[in-house]
């Protein structure tokens, strides 16, 4: 962009830059993105901002919305966002972060998952201002000859610089040749869409840089890249994932969603505010200062839970979820409930539920935990791996089963 006309960096451009930076892990190269913003502000031509998601599962959880929120912020600045469904790249299988070859999905699985992806994503994005594309549009016509020509634009040595490939190569773990095609095809998406900025998680940095490299190879102005942190799940340790059962699905019931947000730690809450809330950073800083000065952190957590629940349901549903939570916490526990003495602390939650007679089996206990149907003193317990320490625990399964369990 060095030969391009220089446009003034106004206060509006600096404000757009600050919005872009919020919560990001990396914005590369920031100077180029500033120039792009200045050009867009001066000419009135919106920038093209791309996010590609492979429909590898049918549902989206709030961890996925970290990058969708950033897309919405940039969309609200007036830029053109492109929601790219990777129906072609899903056939290859993204090796990012993998330590073994990942089996590709079938075309039928991809189609079924893609049908629900955008329906859920538009709960965050403005559908009227979102361009929806499928990368099979340009990937399939590329053909074998085009694929060979594309592969000639990158070297094996550069490909092996990628962290997961490096580790697998050193460990003599098989790397299939088709896995090299994935970053090439994702990069070619940026060429086809002429994107100015591509977003992704921190695990996607190599693939995003590939798009920048290939755009230069094809004579285009290279895109900037923006990586967002991976959101830890309800356990506060592992990345949010369905396989870890530490997630909040964006189509979960309002009451479950609200209660799950309240279950995160006070420390973790502030990262969730930065990455998931639409409040300004000044508002969040004021709230954090109030908590530091003595305000109950639960007040802040309730505000976050209501905001997230309202986004995916409605303000009325969020109010109802708060009322339901309060009713259960205050008056939902009967005065007379069975008392159970158990030894063997710490003990897995599902095992405690079975031993206390609250569920017929540990598998049923795990199912109830997964569905958000287990509470301790009104608080939803959603971690299937949770172990209860010695002491008294007032447990509830469903609406009517209670027990006061004393573990020793």
How far are the Cα atoms of 15, 32, 91, 223 from residue 6, in angstroms, in the given order? 18, 11, 42, 18
Sign of the dihedral defined by the CA atoms of residues 370, 312, 200, 117, in that order: positive
Q: Residue 26 in 3-state DSSP?
A: strand
Question: Residues 297, 266: contact at Cβ < 8 Å?
Answer: yes
Question: Residues 264, 301: contact at Cβ < 8 Å?
Answer: yes
Write out the DSSP string of 87-141. Answer: TTHHHH---TT-SSPPPPPPHHHHHHHHHHHHHHHTTTS-GGGEEEEETHHHHHH
How far are the Cα atoms of 4, 199, 214, 342 from residue 219, in angstroms, in the given order? 14, 21, 9, 70
> For residue 223, how many other CB atoms are within 10 A of its CB?
30
Q: Any long-range contacts for 357-366 (C-beta under 8 Å, 24+ apart)?
A: 357/403, 358/395, 358/397, 358/401, 358/403, 359/397, 365/397
Token reading at 251: 């189509």
Q: Is 242 annotated as a binding residue?
A: yes
Token reading at 39: 């050009």
How far are the Cα atoms of 9, 96, 157, 213 from residue 200, in angstroms, in the given order? 26, 12, 24, 16
Token reading at 405: 């369990």
* Binding residue numbers: 242
Binding residues for ATP, by number, are 242
């Amino acid at each position: 962009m060095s030969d391009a006309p220089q446009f003034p960096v106004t206060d509006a451009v600096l404000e757009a830059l600050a919005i872009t930076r919020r919560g990001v892990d990396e914005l590369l190269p920031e100077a180029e993105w500033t120039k792009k913003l200045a050009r867009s502000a001066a000419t009135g031509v919106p920038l093209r901002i791309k996010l590609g998601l492979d429909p590898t599962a049918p549902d989206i959880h709030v961890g996925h919305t970290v990058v969708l929120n950033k897309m919405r912020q940039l969309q609200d600045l007036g830029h053109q966002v492109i929601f790219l469904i990777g129906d072609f790249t899903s056939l290859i299988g993204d090796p990012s972060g993998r330590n073994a070859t990942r089996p590709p999905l079938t075309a039928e699985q991809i189609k079924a998952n893609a049908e629900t992806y955008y329906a859920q994503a538009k709960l965050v994005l403005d559908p009227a201002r979102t361009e929806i594309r499928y990368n099979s549009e340009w990937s399939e016509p590329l053909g074998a000859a085009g694929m060979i020509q594309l592969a000639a634009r990158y070297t094996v040595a550069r490909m092996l610089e990628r962290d997961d490939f490096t580790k697998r190569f050193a460990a003599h773990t098989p790397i299939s040749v088709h896995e090299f095609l994935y970053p090439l095809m994702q990069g070619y998406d940026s060429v086809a869409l002429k994107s100015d900025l591509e977003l992704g998680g921190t695990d996607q940095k190599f693939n995003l840089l590939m798009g920048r490299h290939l755009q230069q190879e094809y004579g285009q102005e290279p895109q900037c890249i923006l990586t967002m942190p991976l959101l830890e799940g309800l356990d506060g340790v592992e990345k949010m994932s369905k396989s870890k059962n530490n997630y909040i699905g964006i189509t979960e019931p309002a009451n479950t969603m609200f209660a799950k947000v309240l279950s995160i730690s006070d420390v973790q809450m502030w990262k969730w505010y930065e990455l998931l809330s639409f409040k300004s950073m000044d508002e969040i800083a004021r709230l954090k200062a109030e908590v530091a000065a003595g305000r109950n952190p639960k007040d802040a957590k309730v505000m976050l839970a209501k905001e997230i629940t309202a986004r995916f349901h409605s303000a009325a549903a969020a109010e109802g979820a708060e009322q339901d939570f309060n009713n259960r916490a205050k008056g939902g526990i009967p005065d007379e409930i069975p008392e159970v003495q158990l030894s063997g602390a710490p003990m897995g939650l599902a095992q405690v539920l079975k031993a206390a007679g609250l569920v017929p089996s540990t598998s049923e206990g795990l199912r109830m935990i997964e569905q958000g149907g287990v509470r301790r003193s009104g608080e939803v317990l959603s971690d299937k791996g949770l172990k209860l320490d010695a002491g008294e625990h007032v447990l509830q399964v469903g609406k009517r089963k209670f027990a006061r369990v004393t573990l020793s």
